[in-house]
Every structure is written in C-alpha cells, then in structure tokens.
Amino acid sequence: MSKIKPSQGAPYARIMGVGGYRPTRVVPNEVILETIDSSDEWIRSRSGIATRHWASPEETVTAMSVEASGKAIADAGITPEQIGGVIVSTVSHFKQTPAVATEIADRIGAVKPAAFDISAGCAGFGYGLTLAKGMIVEGSAEYVLVIGVERLSDLTDLEDRATAFLFGDGAGAVVVGPAKEPGIGPTVWGSEGDKSETIKQTVPWTDYREGSVDKFPAITQEGQAVFRWAVFEMAKVAQQALDAAGISSADLDVFIPHQANMRIIDSMVKTLKLPDHVTVARDVETTGNTSAASIPLAMERLLATGQAKSGDTALVIGFGAGLVYAATVVTLP
C-alpha cells in the first residue's frame, strides 16, 4: 500500500482571465512587397492576411509577455502573488537558458512560482493550457499563468515568397484557476514527427555560428503539404475534442483555431459543418500568424469586441511545426 499522500487539488480548472499585446507597428502587405515578387491580391487570396504587427527593439519577448500577463491577471481578479506557475510557449526567445518564464515571473511580481518554457510551435498554447490544468487539479498550484509569445519577425526571411507575408509578433496570456465544474475539457493532442520537415528552421544555429551559412536562420515551410494536413487531419482532431468533451458542434458558441491562414480556417469550418450561430475567430487578417500567441490573442479580441462573451463554450485548436497539435473545449472567461 502506498504511503504517499493523495493530491489535494481542485476538482476542475477553468480560464479565469485573458490578456493580449500587439506591437504598435502595423505592417501592411505593401511593405512585404518591397522584398518579394507578389501582389496584395495574391497575399490576401492565399492567406487572408492584410496586415500584421512587428515588434520594435523595445518590444521584446519579455516585455510583450509582461504586458499581456498584467491584463490577464487583472481580468482574472487575482494578484500576481497568487500565481503559482508560469508557462511560456515560444520559439523566438533566443537564449537557450534560463527560461524566459523565470524573468517574466519576476517582472510581474509572482513569488517563487514554478516557471518554465515549452517549445510546441503553433500548438504551444494548447500544450501550456493542458499542463496548467494538470497542475491545478493535481494541487501543485492554485493559479497558473499560460503565455504564448512570439517575435517571428526575427525568424522571417523577407525574400522567401512562400513565408515572408505570413508571420507577425505578439503575446497572449491567460490565467487558469480552480473551478467547481469543468471549464477545460479533455485535450486531444499529439505529433506526427514523420512530417517534421514540412515546417522547420532553415539551418541550425551552429551552422550560422560556424560561418557555414551567412544568412540568419528563418522559418520555412512546404505550404501545400501543411495546408492539406491542417485542413483534413486537424478537422478530425477538432471533432475528437468535441466528442471528448461530450458535445456536438451545435453546442458550440465560438471556434478559435490557430490563426495560420484564412483558407485553412474556412475549410475547417466547412468540414466540421459548424452552424451559422458559431462565432469564428479570423484574427489572422490583421494580426498574421503569431504561432503560440495566436489563440489567446484571438480569444482576447473576440471578448473585447463583444463577438464572444463570458461563459461561451469555445473549441480551440492549435497545430504547427513538429508536426504537433492540441485541441480542447473551454468555457470563455
């Protein structure tokens, strides 16, 4: 018989508050066209993107995260001292160690929380949300801050016609806390490593350091392969998340997919046969693809504009480099 005392966590967890930060500089497609042979019409038809935000030198991964976190904590109605965990998903923090989560935790005034980074690309927010839920139910933290943050402008090859127009910068954050009824459903997540070459960094950092390449590493992708995978396979994962939560698409109020591409979003809506009453996040048009930050940023905007409201039932799904994915049903804060 085990002598270990059972965990004393909350019965359930929920999202209590959300916050976002978009850099002040807005970059229209015309700026992208200065370095690639394309057109505004082609970019819009291919991706749905009209503008994106690019960070200034002062708008660092840490600075953007602190701004988004402050809003999420205030929205949740708690104090920074109550935060017991800080999880940051990012692929664009360029220090291997220490984790940027530790610096962010200190800057927001959290007191000795567990703090760590994860690298799960565009699915990173879903991964962080699932880990936070586990921490709360297990009892190792009462409130956990989950941040998705990217400065993808630092990893964009502006001469790559396939990707130059896609990426933007920003930070989104949520506070996850205890609940008396389910507020975050079961997560359907996984990876398909045999497809890892479809979205990747062009070369390792060591190649750049050693001088074997003279161009700074960037993100590249096989657009058509990624599109087909996202449209056909991720619609299946989204349906599995609905099934796991015990609801149908008719029970949904909101759909918040990763803001990768408007064509992917529209195709998933069609494949899932979402009813007309379901509000669909299409933040990609003015924010671009912000990877791990895209879902919380889209969530924050829907709530701020009144397109979604507190208590709505939302399906969220992220997918990207790895290839990795994560989907779950949540109650909006």
CA-based nearest residue to 72, from 57, 93, 87: 87
Listed residue (151, 146, 134) closest to 172, CA to CA: 146
Residue from 257, 289, 256, 320 nearest 119 by CA: 320
Alpha-carbon gap, residue 75 to 92, rounded angstroms: 26
What is d(CA 176, CA 32) in angstroms, rounded to the nearest whole number?
Answer: 37
Spatial strand order of the sheet with 188-191 comes to 188-191, 324-331, 313-320, 254-257, 279-280
What amino acid occupies position 74? A
Annotated catalytic sites, by residue? 122, 258, 289
Instruction: Using the CB atoms, write b or e for 109-135: b if 16+ within 10 Å.
Output: ebeebbbbbbebbbbbbbbbbbbbbeb
- How far is it, in rounded angstroms, from Cα 51 to Cα 29? 6
Q: Give the SS3 label for residue 212.
A: coil
Q: Is 231 within 8 Å of 290 (Cβ atoms)?
A: no
H or E stretch covering 17: strand 12-21
Main-chain phi, psi angles of 313, to 5 degrees? -95, 125
Distances (CA, A) of 328 to 88, 102, 155: 19, 27, 29
Task: Name the nearest CA neighbour of 221 among 291, 131, 130.
Answer: 291
